[in-house]
Amino acid sequence: MLSTQRQGDRLLIVDDEADVRSLLSRYFAAQGFDTVLASDGEEMRHRLAEGHIDLVLLDLGLPGEDGLAITHYLRETWRGPVVIVTGRGDAGDRVVGLELGADDYVTKPFDLRELLARVRSVLRRARGTAAPPASTPMKPESHILSFEGFALDTRARVLNDPHGQPVDLTSGEYALLRVLVDHANEVLSRDQLMSHLYGREAGPFDRAIDVQIGRLRRKIEPDALHPRVIKSVRGAGYIFTPKVVAP
């Protein structure tokens, strides 16, 4: 399995249960990660302010402040990836968590090996180093890809709108946009998109792709309720319709 984990990648584990924090800390430390612990939202903010964090593992059932509100706070103030790890397996919570910008959602009880694979997969996507499937078409060498007035800089991982202003994308949204741009004018099923994004760690379809597509549409479509950039193909998936130009 491809892994781009760097020695000493730092995880911030946010959970109100001491035994869960200890379990996750010991396990990830044994896999070469550095771990920082927090029991609630206030402590999480202090830990983020103290130093570099590569990824946040966030429980939703925290005292004093709901984890979904914390997810929203993270997406407003922090650019790194967030993986929700929670006992709240309700489909509504899952969809809301993903809508708010979480990169993945894992329910308790979880298998530690699966959680490790998902963390590595999210880090890989955040760094833009996911291994493309063999069927991925060859693209021009230019690292600037333009469509509909937007300019996607694949080196800096920045999307600028037609006015030259940066579009605030999460790591998951950038990864999804990159797959769509690389496969412009191809119909991609949800399973294909999951495979491109998560590789072997892709789980069963759970609306995650639909939620991420919805978030991305709100940032790049002139009218997200009537999309013309990322169109739905009934019974088949999605298609990215613009012509992509590599100057």
Q: Is residue 113 in a domain?
A: yes
Pair 148, 120 in one domain: no
For 7-11, 12-16, 69-73, 115-119, which range has the lowest pLDDT when averaged over its residues? 7-11
Boundary (domain end) residue, out of 72, 100, 126? 126
Pair 24, 89 in one domain: yes
Boundary (domain end) residue, out of 98, 126, 154? 126
Pair 44, 152 in one domain: no
Average pLDDT, the chain: 85
The CATH number assigned to the domain holding 79 equals 3.40.50.2300
Pair 109, 161 in one domain: no
Q: Is residue 199 in a domain?
A: yes
The whole domain housing 219 covers 144-240
Provide the domain count of the chain. Answer: 2
Q: Is residue 97 in a domain?
A: yes
Pair 166, 94 in one domain: no
Pair 22, 109 in one domain: yes
Q: Is residue 5 in a domain?
A: no
Q: Is residue 3 in a domain?
A: no
Pair 109, 207 in one domain: no
Q: Is residue 178 in a domain?
A: yes
Pair 112, 158 in one domain: no
Pair 37, 120 in one domain: yes
Residue 7 has pLDDT above 60, yes or no: no
Pair 102, 203 in one domain: no
Alpha-carbon torsion, ordered 207, 201, 85, 82, to 10 deg: -80
The model's pTM: 0.66
Give the model's pLDDT for residue 140: 46
Q: Which is more confident, 125 or 60?
A: 60
Residue 44 has pLDDT above 50, yes or no: yes
Pair 149, 215 in one domain: yes
Boundary (domain end) residue, out of 100, 126, 152? 126
Give the model's pLDDT for residue 97: 83
Task: Give 199-221 pLDDT, tens digit per residue.
Answer: 655 555 457 788 889 989 999 99
Q: Is residue 90 in a domain?
A: yes
Percentage of the chain modeled with pLDDT above 90? 47
Pair 185, 122 in one domain: no
Task: Give 68-124 pLDDT, tens digit per residue.
Answer: 899 989 988 888 899 999 887 777 778 888 888 888 888 888 899 989 998 998 888
Give the model's pLDDT for residue 66: 86
Give the model's pLDDT for residue 170: 81
Q: Is residue 48 in a domain?
A: yes
The CATH number assigned to the domain holding 212 equals 1.10.10.10
Residue 132 has pLDDT above 80, yes or no: no
Cα(58)–Cα(41) distance, integer angstroms: 10
Segment 154-173 shows an average pLDDT of: 88
